[in-house]
């Protein structure tokens, strides 16, 4: 049952991503809009838009003064990759709240 829930969440995130990219078919929009009514769906929407904004931004943009320290702290808190562990076996997490 947990695998089904993870597959459902993954599918919802894919729908939200496709909606943000303008690539979601009409038949799947209702599911994406329903997912956006949840806190997790809203966080995914913000994360996908922020990612797109960053990818489209020009180099040399100003970062906040503590950006490097916050990034270093978040990277230090990430679990180390273990050889032989498939990435699909680890749950994905939204980076931003």
Residue 15 clears pLDDT 60, i.e. is over it: yes
Element (H, E) at 57: none
pLDDT number for residue 73: 92
Give yes or no for a contact between 93 and 40, defined as CB atoms under 8 angstroms apart: no
pTM: 0.51
Please say whether the dihedral angle defined by the alpha carbons of residues 15, 21, 25 and 26, taken in this order, is positive or negative: positive
Residue 70 burial by CB count (10 A; 0-12/13-18/19+): exposed, middle or buried? exposed
| For range 19-45, the mean pLDDT | 88
pLDDT at residue 94 greater than cutoff 80? no
Token representation of residue 68: 């490097």
Question: Residue 38 pLDDT more than 80?
Answer: yes
Considering only residues 79 and 3, tell me which one the structure prediction assigns the higher pLDDT.
79
């Amino acid at each position: 049952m947990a695998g089904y829930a993870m597959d459902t969440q993954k599918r919802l995130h894919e729908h939200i991503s496709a909606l943000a990219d303008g690539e979601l078919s009409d038949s799947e929009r209702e599911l994406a809009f329903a997912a956006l009514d949840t806190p997790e769906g809203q966080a995914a929407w913000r994360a996908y838009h922020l990612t797109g904004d960053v990818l489209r931004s020009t180099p040399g943009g100003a970062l906040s003064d503590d950006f490097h320290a916050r990034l270093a702290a978040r990277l230090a808190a990430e679990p180390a990759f273990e050889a032989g562990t498939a990435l699909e076996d680890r749950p994905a997490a939204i980076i931003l709240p």
